[in-house]
Structure 1
Amino acid sequence: MTTLDAPTTTAALDRAAFAREWEDWHRDHEARRADPHGFLAVTAIHWLDETPTRYAGIPGTWSTDAAGPVVELADGESLEAADGTSLSGRHAFGPIVERGGVVVRAGDVAVEVARRGGRDIVRPRDPSNPYLARFTGTPTYLPNPRWLARGRFVPAAATREVTVGSAAEGLQHVYEVPGEVEFELRGESFRLVAFNGHAPGSLTVLFTDATSGLTTYAANRSLEIDAPDADGVVLLDFNRAVNLPCAYTDHATCPLPPAGNRLPVGIEAGEKTPIERNVA
């Protein structure tokens, strides 16, 4: 692995400004997590099959087959589509792409209809969920510039996919791998498999490290990395390593890190294990 230049020297950083920027970022991240219809509001996960089934707290009889999820609404029952249209009777959602989904409303409850690991699911999100009301925030390590690492994105020679496990027992996820990120941290060299990130060109790295299961969530943490520059250089800020929804609730299908994405060092940065968990 080629020796990489150190990130902006910590001596040159305004540590107070660095901490304020991190605090603003994490406050916004927690606000999205605790949105009234965010993941902490999920009350259940229902795995659909061809047997029409009713579920507590939401109207309709739900099922799925090769043509996609269907809800049969009885007289007096209705759902509201995202565009405000009222749904009644039989409504077919059509095939849903992997990791895709739509949301319909039943009063204050947002009903997520999605596809995860090749299976269709229904996940109600209720703003009155007691777990959401109890949430007081995620414990974190104090932000520290020592956990900045300049790295290099190494594109894959050809498009490839990797299959990883899931927080949901028996489920698997398939992700496209655009390449790997190599970096140095505290004098040691590492390489992690990267997935495509949320923003165009950006990357997502799922990893565990020596703190996993001790001070941080055992299954995984996630780090978003901005798109590489023209030379492939990236900056990893482990202060922004965050928990996935499975750290907070049993009603999640989060992917596990690819084989090899376990760092042998302790990354004492970013989010720690949540104080409380919403169990099924």
Structure 2
Amino acid sequence: MTVQDIPADLQAFTHDWQEWHSGQEARIGDPHGFLAITDLHWLSDRPERFPDAPGVWSTEADGITVVLDDGEELIVDGTAVRGEHRFGVLPERASVSAVSGDAVIEVAKRGGHDIVRPRHPDNPLRTAFTGTPAYTPHPRWAVTGRYVAFDEPRPTTVGAAVEGLEHVYDAPGRIEFELDGQALALTAFPGHGPGGLIVLFTDATSGVTTYAANRVLSLNPPAPDGTIELDFNRAANLPCAYTDLATCPLPPAENRLPLPVEAGEKIPYERGGPSAS
């Protein structure tokens, strides 16, 4: 079949997906993205120096502190800091970026723990990145569902890619939909924009052709009548699919779909993933 034989609406659908996928790959391959992380340092009240970041780091009840030696500096919020600098107490899932030369030192709180994750553009995992395999997009995997809000957001504890770590999300509701004639539902978590949602899930392809631990689907806000679009062609890998230095959340137990979702991103090449098909 030639491009001319493909219906115009399918061509447009595929083009839109390709633009989305290109954006995903640009983000994961960013010079200071997750592939650039050289280590994951867990802070304690014992001051410690790391080989991939300037300064001596520690954390106590009043938050994270770095003490920089003479000749060392960080750029924080556009301002050069030297000597002792206090980042203070960070909220859960918050991050601060401190620039050191061509590196970015991520200072963050994950699962109640303060961490430092240096990101160096020349990290071999990033420089070797060639893209992520994915299923060929098809409209059959784009479905309309119904968002059902909970009376009150439900605190939902999930595991993490790092053993022993937990994340807590206030789940605002669930999404009911049908796929291949099966009635299904997914618990939703707050998304990245106002009213947006995300769903973390696994399915029968997980650990076979797609990453075993999780995939994520980012959704636009539901319509006033509760309808919401789920396009599983845009099921994306989280950073933990590429590196062990990520603390990604795992799906809640009820988000394990019993059928294969042969759409979206596959196991990354970095994890021995297959070629796209």
Superposition TM-score tier, normalisation by shorter sequence: over 0.9
Which consecutive unaligned segments of at least 5 residues does structure 1 have? Answer: 1-11
What pairs with 1:72-221 in structure 2 (closer than 5 Å)?
Answer: 72-83=67-78, 85-221=79-215
Letter of the structure 2 residue corresponding to residue 128 of structure 1 = D
CA-to-aligned-CA distance 1:252-276 (integer Å, 9 cap, x gap): 0000001110000000000000011
Alignment match of 2:268 (pick from 264, 267, 274): 274
Letter of the structure 2 residue corresponding to residue 29 of structure 1 = Q
Provide the residue aligned with 1:58 in structure 2: 53
Q: Secondary structure at the match of 1:111?
A: strand
Provide the residue aligned with 1:7 in structure 2: none
* Native 8 Å contact 2:38 2:52 kept in 1: no
Q: Secondary structure at the match of 2:254?
A: coil
What pairs with 1:242-257 in structure 2 (closer than 5 Å)?
Answer: 242-257=236-251
Provide the residue aligned with 2:12 in structure 1: 17
Letter of the structure 1 residue corresponding to residue 21 of structure 2 = H
Provide the rounded CA distance (Å) in 2 between the counterparts of 1:146 and 1:262. 20
Letter of the structure 2 residue corresponding to residue 102 of structure 1 = V
- Tell me how far 1:71 sits from its aligned partner: 0.3
1:41 maps onto 2:28 in alignment: no
Provide the rounded CA distance (Å) in 2 between the counterparts of 1:248 and 1:42. 11
CA-to-aligned-CA distance 1:224-271 (integer Å, 9 cap, x gap): 111000100001000000000000001000000011100000000000
Which consecutive unaligned segments of at least 5 residues does structure 2 have? Answer: 1-6, 273-277
Letter of the structure 2 residue corresponding to residue 59 of structure 1 = P
Provide the residue aligned with 2:275 in structure 1: none
Provide the rounded CA distance (Å) in 1 between the counterparts of 2:224 and 2:57. 49
- Tell me how far 1:40 sits from its aligned partner: 1.0
Moved over 3 A (4+): none
Provide the rounded CA distance (Å) in 1 between the counterparts of 2:202 and 2:25. 21
Provide the residue aligned with 1:6 in structure 2: none
Provide the rounded CA distance (Å) in 2 between the counterparts of 1:234 and 1:163. 25
- Tell me how far 1:13 sits from its aligned partner: 7.5
Provide the rounded CA distance (Å) in 1 between the counterparts of 2:42 and 2:35. 19
CA-to-aligned-CA distance 1:145-181 (integer Å, 9 cap, x gap): 0101110000001222100000011100000110000
Provide the rounded CA distance (Å) in 1 between the counterparts of 2:252 and 2:177. 17
Q: Secondary structure at the match of 1:239?
A: helix
CA RMSD of aligned residues (A): 1.4
Provide the rounded CA distance (Å) in 1 between the counterparts of 2:77 and 2:27. 19
- Tell me how far 1:215 sits from its aligned partner: 0.2
Give the TM-score taking structure 1 as reference length.
0.93
Q: May I ask how many residue pairs the two structures share in their alignment?
A: 267
- Tell me how far 1:277 sits from its aligned partner: 4.3
1:259 maps onto 2:241 in alignment: no
Letter of the structure 2 residue corresponding to residue 33 of structure 1 = I
Q: Secondary structure at the match of 1:243?
A: coil
Provide the residue aligned with 2:21 in structure 1: 26
Give the TM-score taking structure 2 as reference length.
0.94
Query: How many percent identity over aligned positions?
Result: 58
Provide the rounded CA distance (Å) in 1 between the counterparts of 2:52 and 2:100. 9
Provide the rounded CA distance (Å) in 2 between the counterparts of 1:162 and 1:25. 29
